[in-house]
Amino acid sequence: MSPTIDLDVGISEEMLALRDTTHRFALEVMRPIAAQLDRMTPEAVIAEDSPLWQGLEKFKAIGLVGAPDCYGPDLTPEARALMHAMVIEELCWGDVGLSITYSLWNLGASVARQMGREDLAEFFAQRDEFFCLALTEPNHGSDMVAFNDASFRDPAGRADLRCRRDGEDYILNGQKAAWVSCGTIAGCGMIFATYEDSKIGRAGGAVFLLPLDLPGITRGKPLDKLGQRTLNQGEIFFDEVRVPARFFLADDPDMYAMMLGGFLAHANTAMGLQFVGVARAAFDHALAYAKERVQGGKPIIEHQSVKARLFNMFMKLESARSFARQVAIQHYQRMGMIPFHYAAASKVLVTQSAFEIASEALQMFGGNGLCREYPLEKIFRDARAGLIEDGENHMLGLTAANNF
């Protein structure tokens, strides 16, 4: 039983009930599936007979597809943000990679609606598929995060995915990196491309919300990585892909950088909420183990230094959770327009805390922490990936500080 409580004001019975349902799903469905997927090859993780798909059906059944829009129209922005924070924390307490995967299911229509494109929302609502956000390129990772840096507008700046206009259509050539989440299984995606003849480097770009079954689009091999092995990732290749104008979202340079910054702010606000779940999973395991493991003739929690270490983990968890929730509440109150430096601070603070808590929890398990039959080594690997995901942490800090 976790000693943590909700410090937030305004938690309703409805939120608590939804959290209970989500917690049961995380415990009974996500954790067992994630333990299996973690040991499988990236190809097997997405194969037809993979438990990934059974989990997806169960996720659909608990009604969380399209969260936070699925919570109903009557909630205030603050209540919606809080409810979402509680749900995401439980899902990521279950497994962060699976939580991200399932939250990308049928997201295309919601994204179109947020962009004010009802026509595209109707188009994507007809399709049952994963969504992806394709920003990172093989030669441009942090370069794409640095949307407010002078280097972004350097005329010499090149891109790996390029576009040009052809009458009413656009033509895409090149590729996105193997880091695109759900990259090999997504049916649609938000794609950032740079004009072939851009005079302002990577700032001269266009954004598309595309079905990924257009002729000329192919995928790479699923990526094999250290942590979050339950999350599919892989390259998307574009060879003279003709994109009808209706899938185009923006190209004005200021609008382009604004959309890029807006999406990064949204993603990093979500990352903050997600890694609270990872941090709590590590803390809960460490606490339970400290009560059970006997050394020196008593449970290790009765040794003073172990108590002190648990208290440190608890403080980090609670401060990370409070900050992530406040940032998310502001984000929803401001119609998705949280200043970038707050979103980045939430992501960096929470992922760093989650990594430190996971590392300390692994230490508390002693040698068992290193063994695959115990849960900590996987949580540690998952938390480690968080320091690079959706913007490498140092780089997010540099980009955030450009706002000061």
What residues make contact with ligand FAD under the rule CB under 6 A? 133-136, 141-142, 145, 179-181, 228, 385, 388-392, 394-395, 398
* Least distance between ligand FAD and beta carbon 224 (Å): 12
* Least distance between ligand FAD and beta carbon 379 (Å): 14
* Least distance between ligand FAD and beta carbon 108 (Å): 14
* Least distance between ligand FAD and beta carbon 252 (Å): 22
Comparison of 222 and 391: residue with beta carbon closer to ligand FAD: 391
Q: What secondary structure letter does DSSP report for 144?
A: H
* Least distance between ligand FAD and beta carbon 144 (Å): 7
Please say whether the beta carbons of 190 and 243 come within 8 A.
no
Token readout for 242 is 């003709």
Q: Is 212 helix (H, G, I), strand (E, B) or coil?
A: coil
C-alpha pair distances (Å), 396 with each of 95, 97, 180, 205, 399: 24, 21, 18, 21, 5
Comparison of 229 and 309: residue with beta carbon closer to ligand FAD: 229
Number of helices followed by number of strands (H, E) in the chain: 14, 10
* C-alpha distance across the termini of the chain, in Å: 42
Q: What is the rounded CA–CA span in Å between residue 96 and residue 387?
A: 13
Comparison of 78 and 154: residue with beta carbon closer to ligand FAD: 154
* Least distance between ligand FAD and beta carbon 181 (Å): 3
* Least distance between ligand FAD and beta carbon 96 (Å): 9
Comparison of 129 and 390: residue with beta carbon closer to ligand FAD: 390
Strands 186-195 and 236-243: unpaired
Residue type, position 397, single letter: G
Q: What is the rounded CA–CA span in Å between residue 100 and residue 95?
A: 9
Comparison of 98 and 180: residue with beta carbon closer to ligand FAD: 180
Q: Which residues contact 209 (CB under 8 A, 6 or more apart)?
A: 108, 111, 112, 115, 117, 120, 124, 188, 189, 190, 191, 247, 249
Tell me which residue has its CB nearest to ligand FAD.
141
Comparison of 78 and 392: residue with beta carbon closer to ligand FAD: 392
Comparison of 27 and 226: residue with beta carbon closer to ligand FAD: 226
Burial class (CB in 10 A: 0-12, 13-18, 19+), 17: exposed
Q: Which helix (H) or strand (E) holds 130?
A: strand 130-134
Comparison of 89 and 389: residue with beta carbon closer to ligand FAD: 389
Q: What is the rounded CA–CA span in Å between residue 328 and residue 81?
A: 6
